[in-house]
Amino acid sequence: MMSKSSSMNSKISELHREISNLKKQLEDKENELRDLQSSLHTTDRDTEEGLTRDDIMRYSRQMIVPSIGVSGQNKLKGGAVLIIGCGGLGCPAAQYLAGCGIGRLGLVDYDVVELSNLHRQLLHSESTIGIPKVTSLAEALHRINSTLRVEEHNIQLDSSNALELVSQYDVVIDASDNVATRYLVNDACILANRPLVSGSAVGLEAQLTVYNYNGGPCYRCLFSSPPPPETVSNCSDVGVVGPVPGCIGVLQALQAVIILTGNGNVLSQRLLLFDGEQTNFRTIKIRGKSESCAVCGSNPTITQLIDYEQYCGAPANDKERRLNLVDKTERVTTHELNEAIKNSEPALIIDVRSPIEFEMCSIPGSINVPLKDLERQQIQDDVRERWNKLKAEASNESKVYVICRRGNDSQLGLKQIKQFLSCPAYDLIGGLHAWSRDIDPSFPPY
């Protein structure tokens, strides 16, 4: 007789299949609708350069602005922008470029929509979870503007495809979230002679500038070599408040409009800084083009794209980084830790995440000692006191387990703890992400 759980799993699988079929039918109908709408918008007044009756009706409020006008609107219609990254920055940038009448928009992303994206990537939705981001975003953009030509590039950008892709567009928007991609996109834009609108956002702070424009500096002029991988953070590590990347993504779209129309101040050799906590914008001057720059200087040493993951020592994505900072004998698996907990083995489980993360979710019995606090003498004394108490009360050998979100910070924490505490101590491989995957599916990965 089929168990209740087996019956439920069977029903869940059946519903997944039905949903997939319905999504395919919806996609087919949306494509059919777009084709009909595009045919409807085609009139005898269409020319390659000119504006249609519908164009004038749609963009009239924008064309009335003197810096745009008919000439500027025609330039937008004939313009092509490549957006690299369809997330928190890429979504608002794409939305406003689609709305203001850009002719051709290229979207680059290798990832699929996840639930954790939706608080800030507002053109994706619950119904598109699991769908490639480029497809989800393209569908949303066509709902905004059915005449927009959207080109989906569902690929991992690398040195084998970046230069050819960048060369097909007039302006490039870097909405990526990792150092390797920033160097790759910068170098490709220099080699293809394309202006690069670069934005970033993390926490409540963000910044924006334009590289390789009218003799201005490039990314390498300011950052000639990449930072150590363990010092780099992104919104996945330290969080981001939803509206913050929205602000910068919209401004990236505006910079692309200014570049294409040729009217307005381009943020070249200037850096726009946004402090969301204080709701404050300020612009600072940055140094100009470096003659010794490896890619845009007078004697460049980089004349073709290189292996940027190797160069930066980090992957060209925001997925889980796998740092190996301690010996494998000082690491345990989720199953080993779970067995220790189940067998009530004497253990001090130290969670080095931030207090907010610990409050969100934690392993029962663990204590919170944030990584940044481990250098404080008072905290070290407290950990030492807890360890001595555990050891005195235990009949078996006591151990310390250090855990974090992904198994990276815990290695740093383990190294610090071993400097002031002599004990058998271990790092949890894969952190709480692995714990959720292997041991407790109800534990929320984030």
Instruction: List the CATH number of the domain containing 410.
Output: 3.40.250.10
- Asked if 232 and 332 sit in the same domain, the reply is no
305 and 388 both lie in a single domain: no
Coil vs helix vs strand at 357? helix
- Same domain for 296 and 368? no
Is residue 17 included in any domain, yes or no?
no
Shared-domain flag, residues 274 and 334: no
Domain of residue 235, CATH code: 3.40.50.720
Domain identity same for 333 and 291: no
pLDDT in tens, 166-192: 999 999 999 999 999 999 999 999 999
Q: Can 312 be counted among the known catalytic residues?
A: no
Task: Read off the pLDDT of residues 22-44 as tens digits, 9 standing for 90 and up.
Answer: 877 776 776 676 666 555 544 33
What is the rounded average pLDDT for all residues in the chain? 92
CB 185 within 8 A of CB 333: no
Confidence grade of residue 6 (pLDDT, cut at 50, 70, 90): low
Task: Tell me if 174 sits within 8 A of 199, measured CB to CB.
Answer: yes
Residue-level pLDDT at 44: 36
Distance between CA atoms of residues 50 and 197, nearest Å: 27
Q: Tell me, what's the pLDDT at 231?
A: 81
Nearest to 354 by CA among 303, 405, 400: 405
Task: Write down the catalytic residue from 86, 91, 100, 404.
Answer: 404
Q: Which residues are annotated as a binding site for Zn(2+)?
A: 218, 221, 293, 296
Annotated binding site for ATP: 88, 109, 116-120, 133, 177-178
270 in a structural domain: yes
Same domain for 225 and 356, yes or no, is: no
Which of 312, 345, 361 terminates a domain? The answer is 312
Which residue range forms the structural domain that includes residue 352?
328-438
Last residue of a domain, one of 281, 312, 343: 312
* 249-269 per-position pLDDT tens digit: 999 999 999 999 999 999 999
Say if 446 falls within a structural domain: no
- Give dist(CA 251, CA 270) in Å, integer: 14
From 235, 312, 361, 423, the catalytic residue: 235
Same domain, 242 and 116: yes
* Residue in 121, 122, 94, 92 with CA at minimum distance from that of residue 106: 94
What was the pLDDT predicted at 45? 39
- Please indicate, yes or no, if residue 445 is contained in any of the structural domains: no
**387 and 287, same domain (yes or no):** no
Task: For residue range 118-170, list pLDDT tens digits in order.
Answer: 999 999 999 999 999 999 999 999 999 999 999 999 999 999 999 999 999 99
Is 423 part of any domain? yes
In terms of Cβ atoms closer than 10 Å to its own Cβ (0-12, 13-18, 19+), residue 408 is buried
3-state secondary structure of 63: helix
Residues 256 and 367 reside in one and the same domain: no
Binding site, annotated residues? 88, 109, 116-120, 133, 177-178, 218, 221, 293, 296
**354 and 398 assigned to the same domain:** yes
pLDDT score, position 47:
41
Told to judge if 189 belongs to the known catalytic residues of this protein, a careful annotator would answer no
Give the pLDDT confidence score for residue 126 in this predicted structure.
97
Which of 312, 340, 362 marks a domain boundary? 312
Please compute the mean of the pLDDT values over residues 370-387 and round it to a whole number: 97
Out of 25-29, 92-96, 237-241, 263-267, pick the least confident: 25-29
Classify residue 321: in a domain, yes or no: no
272 plus 346 within the same structural domain: no
In a domain, residue 9? The reply is: no
pTM recorded for the entire structure? 0.79
Pick the residue with more confidence: 49 or 91? 91
Name the residue type at position 272.
Answer: L
Q: What is the pLDDT of residues 203-235, one digit of tens each?
A: 999 999 999 999 999 999 999 999 988 788 777
Do 269 and 378 reside in the same domain of the chain?
no
What's the mean pLDDT in 267-280? 98
Structural domains counted in the chain: 2
Interval 52-68: pLDDT, tens: 999 999 999 999 999 99
Q: Which helix (H) or strand (E) holds 174?
A: strand 171-174
pLDDT of amino acid 395: 77
